[in-house]
Amino acid sequence: MPSSPAGSVLALSVTDLVKRYPSGTEALKGVSLEIADGEFFGLLGPNGAGKSTLIHCSTGLASPTSGSIEIFGHNAEGNYREAREAVGLAPQELNIDWFLTVEETLDFHGGYFGMNKKDRRERIDELLESFSLTEKRDERTRELSGGMKRRLILARALMHRPRLLILDEPTAGVDVELRLELWHYVKQANLEGTTILLTTHYLEEAEQLCSRIAFINGGEIVDQGSSAELAERFGVGSLEDAYLELVGRKELSRAHVGADPEAGQ
């Protein structure tokens, strides 16, 4: 069983992961990644880098071509059930059943993960309270505002008390207030001990929330470290500039804005 330096089991351990789709696209080309228990980890990369594929392989939605994934020591293929139970996934799309009520949405999810009725009821009360959804308990999900739907998706991901919460671009296309609100809930979950894997293309989001970040590009992890370490390694002043170096677009750097184009070229 892989261990973090402190000796505890890793939340996520990905080793030499390759994913080749039937179309022939090699979306992951031998990815290895370790996330320690309790970390807030960011996975950053441009569109098509392989972020969703890595998440899908980690949650059993896609099967790897080769390599392995362990979640809290459970092999994602061999010990599928245990591995799956340890993960909560908040997908980017609003994949809610519009005919269910808020309470039913959480209750069915808990039932799917084998929680008994009493436990489900207690957990639902707790989550509705912390996500400010108590008054919406009996409302059909289709009647919720956009912000409430996003909160419900997060609450549902946490319903079965996963130790690892995976967030696939949770704030794509949401307004500033909702983004800040979602950050608040996710930070709270992390403070309560949940390990977080966040994929995002908002660099500011990764910088503010994540203690460690991996850059993925073309199906490969190209670098990882804290935001400051990455900026230093790329020889630039910010995570954004490190990212622009990575994707080969350093001419877009805000550090150049207003600079004399003739100077220092």
Q: Is the CB of 66 or the CB of 132 nearer to ligand ADP? A: 66
* Least CB distance to ligand ADP at residue 137 (A): 34
Tokens of 130: 């912390």
Q: In the sheet where 164-168 sits, what is the strand order?
A: 87-90, 164-168, 195-200, 40-44, 212-217, 220-225
Buried b (16+ CB within 10 A) or exposed e, 107-143: bebbeebebeeeebeebbeebbebbebeebeeeebee
How many residues of this chain bind ligand ADP (CB under 6 A)?
Answer: 12
Tokens of 125: 């009360």
* Least CB distance to ligand ADP at residue 63 (A): 12
Give which of 108, 88, 206 is closest to 155, Cα–Cα. Answer: 88
Task: Print the binding letters for residues 47-86 with ligand ADP: x by CB under 6 A, - otherwise.
Answer: xxxxxxx---------------------------------
How would you class 104 by CB atoms within 10 Å of its CB: exposed for 0-12, middle for 13-18, buried for 19 or more?
A: middle
Q: Is the CB of 33 or the CB of 106 nearer to ligand ADP? A: 33
**Residue 162 φ/ψ, nearest 5 degrees:** -70, 150
Kindly report the CA angle at 217 between 216 and 220, in degrees rounded to 5? 70
* Least CB distance to ligand ADP at residue 196 (A): 17
Per CB under 6 A, contacts with ligand ADP among 183-222 are none
Q: Which of 23, 99, 173, 261 binds ligand ADP (CB under 6 A)?
A: 23
Under the binding rule (CB under 6 A), the answer on residue 265 touching ligand ADP is: no
Q: Which of 8, 21, 94, 232 binds ligand ADP (CB under 6 A)?
A: 21
* Least CB distance to ligand ADP at residue 27 (A): 3
CB atoms closer than 10 angstroms to residue 3: 13
* Least CB distance to ligand ADP at residue 186 (A): 19
Q: Is the CB of 100 or the CB of 247 nearer to ligand ADP? A: 247
3-state per-residue secondary structure call for 29-75: EEEEEEECCCCEEEEECCCCCCHHHHHHHHCCCCCCCEEEEEECCEE
Q: Is the CB of 8 or the CB of 32 nearer to ligand ADP? A: 32
Query: What is the distance between the alpha carbons of residues 127 and 160, in angstroms, rounded to a whole number?
Result: 11
Q: Is the CB of 21 or the CB of 112 nearer to ligand ADP? A: 21
Q: Which of 27, 33, 57, 186 binds ligand ADP (CB under 6 A)?
A: 27
* Least CB distance to ligand ADP at residue 91 (A): 12
Q: Is the CB of 49 or the CB of 197 nearer to ligand ADP? A: 49
Tokens of 20: 């080749």
Query: What is the distance between the alpha carbons of residues 221 and 229, in angstroms, rounded to a whole number?
Result: 15
* Least CB distance to ligand ADP at residue 220 (A): 11
Residues contributing to the site for ligand ADP (CB under 6 A): 21, 23, 25, 27, 45, 47-53
